[in-house]
Amino acid sequence: MLGKTAGGLYWMFRSLERAENTTRLIEAGFRIALTRSTDAEAEWKSVIVTSAAQAAFEAKYNSYDSLRVTNFLLRDADNPGSVFSAVKSARDNARLVRTALTWEVWTAVNETWMLLCNILRKPVKETELPEVLAAIRQQSALVRGALTGTMLRMDTYHFCKIGIHVERADNTARIVDVKYHALLPASSVVGGRLDNVQWETLLRSVSAHRAFRWAVEEDFTAPAIASFLILDQRMPRSLSFCLAEIVASLGYLADSYGEKLASHSLADKLRARLDNRDISSIFEEGLHEFLGSVIRDNGNLGLQIEQDYRFNI
Amino acid sequence: MTSENPHFSEMHASDGVRQPYAHYASWFSDQNRKRLAKKAGQAEAFFRRAGITFNVYGANDAEERLIPFDLVPRIVSNREWSKISRGIDQRVRAINAFLYDIYHRQEILRAGIVPVELIAKNDAFLPQMMDFKPPGGVYTHIVGTDIVRTGEDDFFVLEDNARTPSGVSYMLENRETMLQMFPELFSKIKVQQVSDYPKNLRRSLAASAPDSCTDRPCVVVLTPGIHNSAYYEHSFLADQMGVELVEGHDLRVVDGHIAMRTTRGYKVIDVLYRRVDDDFLDPLTFNPSSMLGVPGIMDVYRAGNITIANAPGTGVADDKAIYSYMPDIVEFYTGERAILKNVETHRCSEPQTLKYVLENLADLVVKEVHGSGGYGMLVGPAASKSELSDFAAKLKARPSNYIAQPTLSLSTVPIFTKSGLAPRHVDLRPFAQVSPEGVVITPGGLTRVALKAGSLVVNSSQGGGTKDTWVLED
């Protein structure tokens, strides 16, 4: 396979994953804005901060009102992380690697782009927001479903999977990092009870508010939620889960190409930092420091994969 | 509809439906018009969803457009087709012989059949190709011959596209769409298949591999990238052949071969089906500012380590100025008269002819010698007074840049409109594949159709549409 093709597949699925994650963040912010009478601005700000778009947003606007934030995140072409920009980039990459995709995956992503062009043509009003967000999530699931349902399990497939999980790990780490601190009341001791709305936003950002209740017997405490999002192997958006998937896909490439490369040991190391950990030792290390280093190492892993598999050079 | 219409109608003769259309016409008369209109909408949605689009140069934001698809097929009898395909076969062989000659002994120039300056002043002529024999002796591996019809037995070649002809993907997708929309038609009417094209292309490209290739030849398609107007076609062909689609920056010279950058290192390529113009192929030899090609590929080529399809310098044969000599070229190399006729062509480079063209501009079609896609041409009868005088000025300034032809009475095939069938002018571009093993011509081709009543302009870039082309089995 061409290095360019591997890169195109990887970035296609990273971009789609990013679009979906942004949608989830907006959903969480919207929920809070609806259910809480005060401090909606602070919540919208934390949404912008989490999606790493603060500078770009503040260059344009000076207040965090819901319509501005949602439209900036949904359809602003100047915001490279907006849902529209991300899906456009995914679709451009899909065209680039058209020969490596099945018909189903290609038409699913092309339809997604056509649908977004249509529903994001004009600014999205508050009344339309739930419908628009649901449509994007559904399209994203459609593309992923086509991927798992139709693509041969060979290197093409695994580059897609690596893109998904590198992006998702980054996203989960950012959400926990930003929101956890934003939400944790200054006076509260780590391990104390959080109020309902706080834990719900955090879990909602990764669509895990129901899953948590099913999976975890503990109460809604900060360590329990952090542990769920960072270490729980059953949780498809947890850091542990993402790293296990990345290691498995890189392992497939190592086997089928018959060579172990630098990115493989980076991934192993990063995974080892999550294996057999419990959340209290992470808190001891310092949650913010821990997440910061995971985000950095995950980013470096991405760069090393690009080099090892000759995406660009 | 035929009596007042001077154009040859392929479906309706004065005494009823023409024979090749008999079955179709009876099927059509049983159809519910609303259902057909719905089918037409479905076809458009299918093309849109599949991304079967082309980019329009100069349009905002590299807009992707659909080529309108008409659901009434253009039907050709086996007898008609056999004449067309024999004519193309003859012409394609002559073109390859002409190219070999032009880049070697130039006997046709010595014989005074083609004037020397036509080659000497031709931008498409590449001195780098002199005395070099491309692998397998083939220059143009893929040819698209534009053919128009003016009467029952009157087929004219309008243009030979011997460089990088486009449209194959539409030929194939149009058929695929028809099969999906009207499967019952194909069980009633026996139509020759076009779906072997990619398989045959792969085979004929592989058969053209250089002698240095001992293994199974590695074939790839070279595209300028996703912003090229024909990108869809490039990716479609690579996909259908099961070969890699590469861009210039994926390739480099490795140990005297061209190799592509894969996830596992560099892999040697034997045959490059390039969809990049000569000028951009090698910045070391041609346009130094080009980023689309591969630095050093011409040296690898001349060393006999890669096949480039079509060969660089092929354009010298499909120039519109050369076109006017094609009947002589065919006779010179094949010893036979050309089976397909040429359209009478006035070379504006000749002063007497220029005078005639200027005096009769309103009745002529004038084309740029190197133009393509309907750009830079004048359709006299459809032009306004000011357009005519503007064009006359251009002609006087650079007469050798133009040729002129009478406006042909192009045949019509009906298209499906809201108010029923309506005649529109068509042309036909069949595709030929050439390898050392011979010439393969896919039965059918791309029928392009003018969508405006009376218009003679069928180019997609100028708003024309396409139809499926059926060659009947007999």
Q: Which of A224-228, A242-246, B99-103 has the lowest mean pLDDT?
A: A224-228
Do the chains contact at A310 and B235, CB–CB below 8 Å?
no
Mean pLDDT of B38-67: 80
Residues of chain A whose beta carbon is less than 8 angstroms from a beta carbon of chain B are 1-6, 92, 95-96, 98-99, 103, 106-107, 110-111, 114, 155, 253, 257, 309-310, 313
Residue A311 has pLDDT above 60, yes or no: yes
Residue A196 has pLDDT above 70, yes or no: no
Mean pLDDT of A117-126: 94
- Angle of helix A196-205 relative to helix A155-183, nearest 10 degrees, comes to 160
Do the chains contact at B244 and A310, CB–CB below 8 Å?
no
Q: Is A82 helix (H, G, I), strand (E, B) or coil?
A: coil
Do the chains contact at A2 and B250, CB–CB below 8 Å?
yes
Tell me which chain B residues have a C-beta less than 8 angstroms from the C-beta of A309: 263
Tell me which chain B residues have a C-beta less than 8 angstroms from the C-beta of A95: 51, 226, 231, 235
What is the reported pLDDT for A41? 83
Residue B304 has pLDDT above 70, yes or no: yes
Mean pLDDT of B104-122: 92
pLDDT greater at residue A28 or residue A238: A238
Do the chains contact at A107 and B231, CB–CB below 8 Å?
no
Residue B1 has pLDDT above 50, yes or no: no
* Whether B264 contacts chain A with CB within 8 A: yes
With cut-offs at 50, 70 and 90, classify the pLDDT of residue B4: very low
What is the reported pLDDT for B371? 59
Tell me the CA end-to-end span of chain A in Å, nearest whole number. Answer: 14
Mean pLDDT of B411-427: 93
Nearest CA in chain A to B243: A99
Nearest CA in chain A to B238: A99
Alpha-carbon distance B50 to nearest alpha carbon in chain A (angstroms):
6
Residue B92 has pLDDT above 90, yes or no: yes
* Percentage of residues of chain A with pLDDT beyond 70: 93
What is the reported pLDDT for B420? 87
Do the chains contact at B246 and A309, CB–CB below 8 Å?
no
What is the reported pLDDT for B2? 38
Q: Which of B51, B226, B262 lies closest to A2 in CB terms?
A: B262
Within 32-61 of B, beta carbons closer than 8 Å to A belong to 48-51
**Each residue of A21-54: pLDDT tens digit?**
999 989 888 887 777 666 778 888 888 988 889 9
Alpha-carbon distance A312 to nearest alpha carbon in chain B (angstroms):
8
What is the reported pLDDT for A51? 87
Do the chains contact at B51 and A95, CB–CB below 8 Å?
yes
Alpha-carbon distance B86 to nearest alpha carbon in chain A (angstroms):
35
CB contacts < 8 A (A, B): 58
- Angle of helix A40-50 relative to helix A3-35, nearest 10 degrees, comes to 170
Backbone φ and ψ of A305, nearest 5°: -60, -45
Mean pLDDT of B84-105: 97
Average pLDDT score over chain A? 90
Residue B174 has pLDDT above 50, yes or no: yes
What is the reported pLDDT for A8? 97
What is the reported pLDDT for B122? 85
Residue B453 has pLDDT above 80, yes or no: yes
What is the reported pLDDT for A200? 74
Mean pLDDT of B169-173: 95
What is the reported pLDDT for B382? 83
Q: Which of A2, A253, A313 lies closest to B244 in CB terms?
A: A2
Do the chains contact at A99 and B50, CB–CB below 8 Å?
no
How much is the pTM?
A: 0.90
Tell me which chain A residues have a C-beta less than 8 angstroms from the C-beta of B173: none
* Whether B245 contacts chain A with CB within 8 A: yes
Sort B30 into a burial class: Cβ within 10 Å, 0-12 / 13-18 / 19+: exposed
Distant-in-sequence contacts of A180-189, Cβ < 8 A, 24+ apart: A180/A222, A180/A226, A180/A287, A181/A288, A182/A42, A182/A46, A182/A49, A184/A222, A188/A222
